[in-house]
Homo-oligomer: A and B are copies of this chain.
Amino acid sequence: MTTTSERLDGPSPLPPTPKVDLPENRSFRLKNRFLGRTLHTDQLQHERLSNTVGLAVFSSDALSSTAYASEEIMLTLLTAGLGINAFGYVLPITLAMVIVLAILIVSYRQTIKAYPSAGGAYIVTKDNLGVIPAQVAGVALLTDYILTVSVSVSAGVAALYSVFHGVYPYRVELAIAFIAIIAWGNLRGVKESGKLFAIPTYAFLVAMFALIIVGLIKNFLGGGLEYVALDPEQTEALKVTGGAGLFLLLHAFASGGAAVTGVEAISNGVPAFKPPEWKNARNTLMVMGGLLGAMFIGISYLATQVHAVPTEERTVMSQVAQAIYGNGAIGHAMFIFTQAATMLILVLAANTAFADFPRLASFQAEDSFMPRQLTKRGHRLVFSNGIVSLAISAAVIVAIMSAEVSRLIPLYAVGVFTSFTLSQAGMARRHIRIKEQGWRAGLFINALGAVVTFVVTIVIGVTKFTHGAWAIIILVPILVWVVVRLNHQYETERAELHEDAERAVEAPILRRHSVMVLIDNIDRTSARAIQYARTLMPDELRAVHVAIDELHASELAREWSELPLASLPLEIRECPDRRLDRAVLQLVAEIAGDGQTEVSVLIPRRVYRSAWHKLLHDRSADTIASALADVPHANVTFVPYHLTRSAKGAHVQQVEHGAVSGTAGIHN
């Protein structure tokens, strides 16, 4: 059966078409309200940070870790039963870690200069050591970014309940709420969130240096510092005196490693600085390193002077602040200020990870080692999918670990030191390869950095293995395997799709084109679909009704026979199992089965004004469409019919049937 169609008119020169002004949809308006006005792609370069703001955005992680790093060192020593002797080891261990920090800072200055466009471990490793080592660095870092968020937010909540003890039972809910707020800030765009985070970072710096200076003055110029008031059990525990073995000291050192985890951030975020990016980033890195080292040493020193003993409900930091400021009105105000600033910077330190995780994930996704969606810039030009993934992962970990910092710390730092090692090794390799001016000095610095960080990685992995690091040591290789498989998947697919594509684009059409209109009722939706079907000028045109309800089907057949559509009989297809999609699929598979027939299945679709209307009708059209995806050469077309009362976009008469309708139609 061949069907031809006549038109109202031959093709005619058309009048210029006006620009149609379509209303914005609701989700877009909601995004505008919730996230701010949408940004256009060409506004991308304006989203840059000054050094002052950059310090706040990229350093809050590193700086804030001084709030818990000393505590973790002390906790490791005290729980080992060293008693009062524990205090003697804290400062030396802190100094050892500050030396590692110094080496890292100097190493990363090299990296920032060498990779001004994006100098994270991932890029450096990929460039110098190859794609697979880069995935190790990338996955290790991503894991650590997630843990950064979990640890920081949990520690922030700990600072809060050190003051308000009643908050303790709600720490998980609070931590998750903070994660949500930070994610929201980041979805609005990095610059605005930079501003949002500058104040707490600087407040924290003021609070820490005030505490350290007041502490030092009281200690050396005043009458010395008083010990923290302990409960009897703790006092008893302190009386024990023991010596520390090497393993314990290394373990305590490993616990302190949390302090330097944020160093990577600036080098990974170089492009976010104002030009000249690499110089600004380098300066910010130096400032950050100095501040971090000074604070870490200061807090560790003061904590040992006041004999702070970490408990579940009171942080070391809060004990130090209370011991130094005392119980006077001004002292109490300073205590509250210190705790508030600590809480804020800790909660917001998570922001560092929110600035870096999505960027790193997008690099990996661009190399096809992560889901493609992570390369997509959202409403406000940030990598929204990355931000959301990070927030969800961190929230899950916080929930699993009950927001307890000392349960999270052992998982932490293995990943980041792995990436440090790879990144420094990569830099060393680069110096050897490129031999730029002064490369020998550079090689020495980066090789030293690589060796030191490698040793620290091993120390952390070994000493913390039984405390939870094993999970990360198992997880990272698994994730690397997953991303490598993912990459293989993408590559296979790409190869298949592109094979011979240049010739495929001129492939001749198939022998036959069969168009099938699915008919439910004789109404204007069906009429529209028939009208469109004839536009396609197929070799074969069929009208098919799948009978779910026999009564309705026979009624429909009767009505159809009275229509002036002699050349288009209605086929009734039995469907005793009421599976519409299956019946259509079977029919289409029969028609397309010869491999020489192009089948177009036309599904009439009513377009409603609102979601409420949609609710009142079932979704069988979508079910059919997705079922037909199984058949090659089955092309599903939705032919819309706009109900007039859903007038939104429907400014055009749907079915044209003017004076000539008697002369046009289907002719055999």
Q: What residues make up the interface of A, taking CB atoms closer than 8 Å to B? A: 2, 5-12, 14-15, 17-20, 22, 25, 28, 38, 40-42, 371-373, 376-377, 486, 489-490, 492-493, 496-513, 521-528, 530-532, 534-537, 539, 548, 550, 562-565, 576-579, 585-586, 589-598, 600, 605-607, 613, 615-618, 625, 627, 629-645, 648-657, 660-661, 664-666
Given known A629-B640, A640-B634, contact A6–B508 (CB-CB < 8 A): yes
Closest residue of chain B to A18 (Cβ to Cβ) is B593
Number of copies: 2
Are B496 and A645 neighbours in the complex by a CB distance under 8 Å? yes
Closest residue of chain B to A371 (Cβ to Cβ) is B616
Residues of B within 8 A of A17 (CB): 590-591, 593-594
State how many angstroms separate the Cβ of A83 from the closest Cβ of chain B. 45
Residues of B within 8 A of A635 (CB): 532, 637-640
Closest residue of chain B to A368 (Cβ to Cβ) is B616
Can you list 23 contacts pairing A with B, beta carbon distance less than 8 Å? A9-B511, A14-B596, A17-B591, A19-B586, A20-B589, A22-B585, A22-B586, A38-B577, A41-B548, A41-B550, A372-B617, A496-B645, A501-B522, A502-B522, A505-B565, A535-B598, A537-B537, A631-B649, A632-B642, A632-B649, A633-B652, A634-B640, A636-B637
Are B645 and A589 neighbours in the complex by a CB distance under 8 Å? no
Are A506 and B636 neighbours in the complex by a CB distance under 8 Å? no
Q: How far is the CA of A594 from the CA of B615 in the complex (A)?
A: 32
Are A618 and B372 neighbours in the complex by a CB distance under 8 Å? yes
State how many angstroms separate the Cβ of A495 from the closest Cβ of chain B. 10
State how many angstroms separate the Cβ of A658 from the closest Cβ of chain B. 8
Are A509 and B489 neighbours in the complex by a CB distance under 8 Å? no
Are A506 and B577 neighbours in the complex by a CB distance under 8 Å? no
Which are the 3 A-B pairs with shortest beta-carbon distances?
A508-B664, A504-B527, A20-B589
Closest residue of chain B to A373 (Cβ to Cβ) is B618
Are B640 and A632 neighbours in the complex by a CB distance under 8 Å? yes
Are A504 and B655 neighbours in the complex by a CB distance under 8 Å? yes
Residues of B within 8 A of A521 (CB): 497-498
Give the interface centre of A5, A506, A512, A657 by most chain B CB atoms within 10 Å. Answer: A506
Are A525 and B497 neighbours in the complex by a CB distance under 8 Å? yes
Are B565 and A506 neighbours in the complex by a CB distance under 8 Å? yes
Residues of B within 8 A of A565 (CB): 505-506
Q: How far is the CA of A664 from the CA of B507 in the complex (A)?
A: 7
Contact of A496 among B501, B524, B578 (CB under 8 A): B524
Give the interface centre of A17, A377, A590, A651 by most chain B CB atoms within 10 Å. Answer: A17
Given known A371-B616, A508-B657, contact A513–B496 (CB-CB < 8 A): no
Residues of B within 8 A of A377 (CB): 578
Contact of A11 among B25, B511, B525 (CB under 8 A): B511
Q: How far is the CA of A500 from the CA of B657 in the complex (A)?
A: 10
